[in-house]
Structure 1
Amino acid sequence: MAAAAPPHTDHKLGTPILDQPQLQAGGGTAAVTEKARTLDHISDNFSKYLKSAYDDVNKRYDLTTKEGLAKWLVTEQQASQDDVQFFKDGSFDDFIRYYMSGSASVMRPPPPLDDTYPISNYFISSSHNTYLTGNQLSSESSVDAYKNASVLLRGCRCVEVDVWDGEPPSSSSSEDEDETAAPKPKKEKKEKLGLRKRLELRFGRKGSPPPEDQSKPAAASSNQSPDQGADMRIEPWRSNVSTRAEPRVLHGYTLTKDITFRAVCATIRDYAFVTSDLPLIVSLEVHTCPEQQEIMVEIMREYWRGMLVDLPLDSSQNSEEIALPILRDLRKKILVKVKRAHKHPGAADAKPSTLQAPSGEPQRSSSVVSTSTSSSEELPDGTKKPPAPKAKISEALAKLGIYTGGYSFKSLDQPEAKIPTHIFSLSENTLMEVHETQPAALFKHNKHFFMRAYPKGLRLKSSNLNPSRFWRAGVQIVALNWQRWDGGMMQNEAMFAGTAGWVLKPEGYRSTSDEATQKTAIAHHNLDLSIEFLAGQDIPMPPEEDDPKDFKPYVKVELHVEKHEERNAQPIPGGGKSKGGEFKQKTETYRSQNPNFGGEIIKFEGIQGVTEELTFVRYVLSALSSSFSNCNR
């Protein structure tokens, strides 16, 4: 379960705090959505309003008759006639029972998913640094973050795994080594070290190549040829799992705690398709040496057998001409997103190799490719976070990126941008710059090819970017910090609520469209919106509040609408950093956990530039320093 924030600090970080976090959605259909949408009682305030509504409806439709009941359900509720099951005689008690069920929700179910388009034609519910349970600098890593507290049981379809070199398990029989080991720094001295020094103590040599004398094997096999010396640095595939070093998962160069890559793969295996049978993308951020990468491949093949896409669906296509498959053909499949080699001069003239099925036991490979990683970032104490080392991706690992092969982004014109299965990952700041300088090229790229946006490194408290701004640019994978319940996550839930985590883009955003820009790809309208508030029920008080008489809740309403600067590729005021809605209003404040809003009406009139599919209404129930949010499309 996500870690709770200490009182009086950050109530959004590590929430929602629930015994069953899978009750809370976040980016798709939660594991027990139906239970989460039901009520076990109705307050007196609500009962009065429902009685008034019942009298009005019964007068117009006569709910005591089958014909009148069916007409009301279909015409006014836009519900299925199956909801007749909640009514016995059309009485007020039946009416109450209906509204306590999930069937009476004001939210319409999403339309049936058309799964016949290539997979780049969908928005995908996505997570950033999935393994963390709190902030980006010092929180725990946990497999539960993949399972229920953060993502898989809440509908996420793209998870991130940062993988680093592991350490051999300690041996209880090595008493002599323990006695001769160098003493650890005393605690009081360690506390005096700066953050940078503490990070270097923990990570300074992780991922660095071993010294020359340690990189050579103790003995070579009799059938080894002299030119295979470099290849011998890779461990044998079937070494003893209990004694070998295995990769681990953590946020590198921070104080976050680690978990094993094996445990993460086991959790993904068990929970990947509990709430959705649509494909799961596992985004690997690799910082391991080639030897550890071979172990990564071994573990993924072992745990995801039958689910892992490790060969093209069409085996006759070569590696650089593979077409993206349609969504339907990848149900219950795991796709690996991992870096590939950049194309070098003359590579286009070379005949691409055809991917073949592995024969028997996986083969060790000395072929590696270099990939660049993120640059250094500033830490809270003003020092610079060391840049992550350049990982050399082994051929065996790179080949697993069948339909989601990553390349370092340089420009939209680089050779790799034409490979059908490529994917560029850009930070929010870089993407904003590209949108302002090359809006048409960016929109065209994202109609046909994958792109991923992720939060900038300085979001240490796991805050989120504004996802709708990037969806409107056609970005399919907008990775969010699910550890934090804020405006960004609210929009993510609004986009994917009730879905299986994949949402078909609006027609003008698809690869079949001739629309050239974001401005013309979708119809824009003027909006007049009126919202009436009746009552609230059982609103939980903030952690620091214990007297209901001092509890003063109110509701804030925000509209997340495309700005005209965004539509015209101009610099967005404030740099686009705000996650708040462009239009905001709030109700009066009431002193009660069961407030009676008395039919208070909030109006938004003459709002321009509204696109129905990509505009969101967010409701924030606030009281003192606490807030509880919901967001709708």
Structure 2
Amino acid sequence: MPEPAQDSKLGAPKLDQPQLQAGGGTAAESAKARAVETLTPTVAKYLKTIYDDVNKRYNLSTKEGQAKWIAEEQHGSLADAELLKDGSLSHFEAYFASGKANGMGPITAVDESHPISNYFISSSHNTYLTGNQLMSESSVDAYKNVLLRGCRCVEIDVWDGEPPSSSSSEDESATPAGYRGKKEKKEKKDKPGMSIKKRLELKFGRKGSPPQEDKMKDLSISPPKTAGDRITPWRSTSYRAEPRVLHGYTLTRDTPFRAVCATIRDYAFVASNLPVIVSLEVHTSAEQQEIMVEIMTEYWKGMLVDLPLDPKVSSDDLSLPTLKELENKILVKVKYTAPKPAVEATPATLQAPAEPLKQVQSTSTTSSSSEDVPEGVKKPPAPKAKITETLGRLGVYTRAYHYKNLDQPEAQIPCHVFSLSEKALLEVHEQQPAKLFNHNKHFFMRAYPKGLRLNSSNLNPSVFWRAGVQIVALNWQRWDGGMMQNEAMFAGTSGWVLKPEGYRSTSKEPTQKTAIAHHNLDLSIEFLAGQDIPLPPEEDDPRDFKPYVKVELHVEKHEEREGQPIPGGGKSQKGEFKKKTKSHKTPNPDFGREVIRFEGVKGVTEELTFVRYVSVSFLSLLSHTLLLWMGWCDL
């Protein structure tokens, strides 16, 4: 069977300065991500023209003129003006080559005084995967990569670990009878037919798996203590099965849950001190859930929010804390299990022996893995969720509940979180737009890509942000329009962005339509030159390369604003308004001051409208120089 064609938009996580990658916001903080070492003659020619014009109006030979130009036209700081030194052309060029002259406006420090549901959060979906959703590897490197790029909400899909394989009767006897029985029963059941994994392998093929890396190096941990009627984690004298992380019912390879927790501990607060939300999708037995709690408690000690900030407040009376109160803290999003009422223990006697602990098999929370699977592959029904009280207790301020409707009792619990697929959420938006918007002003909601996005493509995040959804989970494995919008939303921030005033819990605005001012927009962009645009993966001859730049405006549609069905079902990542420059046969195009104009664009909301630039080799768009002038006015 031929191997599938390489997908140039997918890639394994980069470990060499991942913070310089775009997508989550952090790259915009580093001048190195935008700096260039040299300027081509074409770019230098246009900079000379610009310099002459600016120098005539501001007299760059004076400190006053430099500061005035930097402040009025570049919206930069006095520190940026220092790069101009004596105001000569060479230092003017050095200023532009440094990356300080980028087109991004100044970023103000986030106001951390609001409850945490009042923010948009840079979020990842199936964080552990290094490529597509069907056959890629699971790796702790993916967590390191996204956390250093500014991600503040990561996802972990946890499954039962493999039991030890041993022929000795001693090890055999150490395994609970219930566990062995289930395993033997499963083997008998699977023997006559073909497993899902084999059927997927035949249908889609798979390259040989690389040797397993040493994922557990230096991750030793002391055994936990047991007390009371707590479920005892299963272990043998020499080895115990521990939870693993993978995408269930697919060909993806696993990585240890312990190693994931260690990586989150090490990198959670390197790029930002704002809280990290760990979204758990739990498919493990009760015994393995106890091991999960043990590992998270040990590795995230001092960071994990496992009790209310105010110990005097009961879990039922909690209100969401402010962002400031949760600095350097890890929040666990997991399905909530109400405490069981106390029952008097019956003493064990010879006539009435105590009932032994039973292994409770497989649990699941609502997530993307419960969606459609490839044609011809029948997926087993997802078991009913049975989260242990010990694990569910960790969802202090982020309790996950199964979504039924916006009127269910749980929808009024201050700390609840509903997770919906993009399709389900759009249906709610069409049926109850005002109620959805009002819910999201006060409570958390999470949107995630539908299950059929096997190539790790992304939903259109701005549609969900405009509905007030805080956590829009994206596949960071793919560099596409969704991730470009994520970069635009969080560029230069610490991964949490305060919602517009009309979207916050203090606002009385009833609908998305009235919550924020809508304007008409005139936008003009003048393209001067491009420099060192990398060839696309399929090209090897610069003489055949004809780059151009496409500009897209991501603006709220009329139907979206009115709560009507969104054209195309909201699936498209392409902007509502699109134009492109002429193509040029060189990696160093001279655009000749070509101007692209968008006039009379309606429905523009300043904080939730995005301009996207896409070159023919858009995967490398942020690594080459593109010189343009942009101006816009509000009519």
Which amino acid in 2 is paired with 1:334?
Answer: I
Displacement, 1:301?
0.7
| 2:429 equivalent in structure 1 | 435
- 8 Å contact from structure 2 (residues 417, 444) kept in 1: yes
Displacement, 1:194?
2.7
Question: Within the alignment, does 1:329 sit opposite 2:334 as a pair?
Answer: no
Displacement, 1:373?
3.5
- 8 Å contact from structure 2 (residues 124, 155) kept in 1: yes
User: Aligned pair in 2 of structure 1 residues 90, 198: CA closer, same or farther (>3 Å)?
Assistant: closer
Find the aligned partners of 1:536 and 1:64 in 2 and give their Cα distance: 28
- Residue range with higher mean Cα deviation, 267-276 or 84-93: 84-93
For residues 380-433 of structure 1, the C-alpha deviation after alignment (integer angstroms, 9 at most, x for no partner) is: 343332233233211111000000000000010111111100000001111001
Which amino acid in 1 is paired with 2:454?
Answer: L
Find the aligned partners of 2:32 and 2:162 in 1 and give their Cα distance: 43
Three-state SS of the structure 2 residue aligned to 1:384 is coil
| Of 495, 511, 515, the match for 2:489 | 495
Which amino acid in 2 is paired with 1:37?
Answer: R
- 8 Å contact from structure 1 (residues 279, 332) kept in 2: yes
| Of 569, 576, 579, the match for 2:570 | 576
For residues 209-253 of structure 1, the C-alpha deviation after alignment (integer angstroms, 9 at most, x for no partner) is: xxxxxxxxxxxxxx99xxx9xx686327xx679601000000011
- 8 Å contact from structure 1 (residues 28, 501) kept in 2: yes
Cα-Cα RMSD: 3.4
| 2:346 equivalent in structure 1 | none
| Of 452, 455, 460, the match for 1:458 | 452
| 2:410 equivalent in structure 1 | 416
Within 5 A, what are the aligned runs for 1:512-527?
A: 512-527=506-521
Find the aligned partners of 1:458 and 1:70 in 2 and give their Cα distance: 53
Find the aligned partners of 1:365 and 1:80 in 2 and give their Cα distance: 65
| 2:26 equivalent in structure 1 | 29
- 8 Å contact from structure 2 (residues 201, 251) kept in 1: no
- 8 Å contact from structure 1 (residues 190, 198) kept in 2: no
User: Aligned pair in 2 of structure 1 residues 610, 32: CA closer, same or farther (>3 Å)?
Assistant: closer
User: Aligned pair in 2 of structure 1 residues 27, 235: CA closer, same or farther (>3 Å)?
Assistant: same
Within 5 A, what are the aligned runs for 1:125-136?
A: 125-136=122-133
For residues 510-537 of structure 1, the C-alpha deviation after alignment (integer angstroms, 9 at most, x for no partner) is: 0010000000000000011100111111
Question: Within the alignment, does 1:157 sit opposite 2:116 as a pair?
Answer: no
Three-state SS of the structure 2 residue aligned to 1:393 is coil
User: Aligned pair in 2 of structure 1 residues 17, 270: CA closer, same or farther (>3 Å)?
Assistant: closer
Question: Within the alignment, does 1:235 sit opposite 2:229 as a pair?
Answer: no
For residues 482-526 of structure 1, the C-alpha deviation after alignment (integer angstroms, 9 at most, x for no partner) is: 011111111011000100000000000000100000000000000
Question: Within the alignment, does 1:71 sit opposite 2:64 as a pair?
Answer: no
Question: Within the alignment, does 1:195 sit opposite 2:200 as a pair?
Answer: yes
Question: Within the alignment, does 1:45 sit opposite 2:63 as a pair?
Answer: no
Displacement, 1:51?
0.6
- 8 Å contact from structure 2 (residues 197, 249) kept in 1: no
- 8 Å contact from structure 1 (residues 369, 394) kept in 2: no
| 1:361 equivalent in structure 2 | none
Within 5 A, what are the aligned runs for 1:240-279?
A: 243-279=239-275
| 1:318 equivalent in structure 2 | 314
Find the aligned partners of 1:71 and 1:422 in 2 and give their Cα distance: 50
Find the aligned partners of 1:198 and 1:590 in 2 and give their Cα distance: 42
Give me the identity figure in percent.
Answer: 69
Three-state SS of the structure 2 residue aligned to 1:559 is strand
Which amino acid in 2 is paired with 1:234?
Answer: T
Find the aligned partners of 2:385 and 2:115 in 1 and give their Cα distance: 31
Three-state SS of the structure 2 residue aligned to 1:527 is strand
Find the aligned partners of 1:424 and 1:192 in 2 and give their Cα distance: 31
| 1:302 equivalent in structure 2 | 298
| 2:280 equivalent in structure 1 | 284
Which amino acid in 2 is paired with 1:458?
Answer: L
Three-state SS of the structure 2 residue aligned to 1:102 is coil
Find the aligned partners of 1:542 and 1:509 in 2 and give their Cα distance: 41
Aligned length: 571
Find the aligned partners of 2:554 and 2:8 in 1 and give their Cα distance: 23
Which amino acid in 2 is paired with 1:337?
Answer: K
- 8 Å contact from structure 2 (residues 437, 511) kept in 1: yes
| Of 329, 335, 338, the match for 1:339 | 335
Find the aligned partners of 1:553 and 1:474 in 2 and give their Cα distance: 37
User: Aligned pair in 2 of structure 1 residues 331, 429: CA closer, same or farther (>3 Å)?
Assistant: same
Which amino acid in 1 is paired with 2:232?
Answer: I
- 8 Å contact from structure 1 (residues 287, 390) kept in 2: no
User: Aligned pair in 2 of structure 1 residues 386, 197: CA closer, same or farther (>3 Å)?
Assistant: farther
Question: Within the alignment, does 1:604 sit opposite 2:609 as a pair?
Answer: no
| 1:359 equivalent in structure 2 | none
Which amino acid in 2 is paired with 1:74?
Answer: A
| 1:402 equivalent in structure 2 | 396
Displacement, 1:101?
1.4
Could you list the runs of 5+ residues in structure 2 that have no partner in the other structure?
173-183, 205-225, 343-356
Find the aligned partners of 1:549 and 1:488 in 2 and give their Cα distance: 31
Three-state SS of the structure 1 residue aligned to 2:26 is coil
Within 5 A, what are the aligned runs for 1:459-608?
A: 459-608=453-602
Displacement, 1:37?
1.9
Displacement, 1:366?
11
User: Aligned pair in 2 of structure 1 residues 21, 417: CA closer, same or farther (>3 Å)?
Assistant: same
TM-score, normalized by length of structure 2?
Answer: 0.83
User: Aligned pair in 2 of structure 1 residues 92, 172: CA closer, same or farther (>3 Å)?
Assistant: farther
Three-state SS of the structure 1 residue aligned to 2:92 is helix
Question: Within the alignment, does 1:55 sit opposite 2:52 as a pair?
Answer: yes
Three-state SS of the structure 2 residue aligned to 1:104 is coil
For residues 57-102 of structure 1, the C-alpha deviation after alignment (integer angstroms, 9 at most, x for no partner) is: 1111111112212221222222111223213311111101111113
Displacement, 1:371?
6.5
- Residue range with higher mean Cα deviation, 17-26 or 41-50: 17-26
User: Aligned pair in 2 of structure 1 residues 376, 275: CA closer, same or farther (>3 Å)?
Assistant: closer
Three-state SS of the structure 1 residue aligned to 2:548 is strand
Three-state SS of the structure 2 residue aligned to 1:385 is coil
User: Aligned pair in 2 of structure 1 residues 52, 420: CA closer, same or farther (>3 Å)?
Assistant: same
Find the aligned partners of 2:150 and 2:390 in 1 and give their Cα distance: 30
| 1:81 equivalent in structure 2 | 78
Displacement, 1:34?
2.6
For residues 251-294 of structure 1, the C-alpha deviation after alignment (integer angstroms, 9 at most, x for no partner) is: 01111000000000000000000100000000000000110000
Question: Within the alignment, does 1:426 sit opposite 2:420 as a pair?
Answer: yes
User: Aligned pair in 2 of structure 1 residues 378, 609: CA closer, same or farther (>3 Å)?
Assistant: same
TM-score, normalized by length of structure 1?
Answer: 0.84
Which amino acid in 2 is paired with 1:527?
Answer: L
Displacement, 1:196?
9.0
Which amino acid in 2 is paired with 1:85?
Answer: E
Three-state SS of the structure 1 residue aligned to 2:568 is helix
Question: Which stretches of structure 1, 4 residues or more, deviate above 6 A after TM superposition?
Answer: 15-18, 171-177, 189-192, 196-199, 364-371, 630-633
Find the aligned partners of 2:75 and 2:201 in 1 and give their Cα distance: 59
| 1:14 equivalent in structure 2 | 11
- 8 Å contact from structure 1 (residues 368, 395) kept in 2: no
Could you list the runs of 5+ residues in structure 1 that have no partner in the other structure?
1-5, 200-222, 352-363
Which amino acid in 2 is paired with 1:304?
Answer: W
User: Aligned pair in 2 of structure 1 residues 117, 502: CA closer, same or farther (>3 Å)?
Assistant: same
| 1:116 equivalent in structure 2 | 113
Which amino acid in 2 is paired with 1:244?
Answer: R
Find the aligned partners of 1:12 and 1:496 in 2 and give their Cα distance: 21
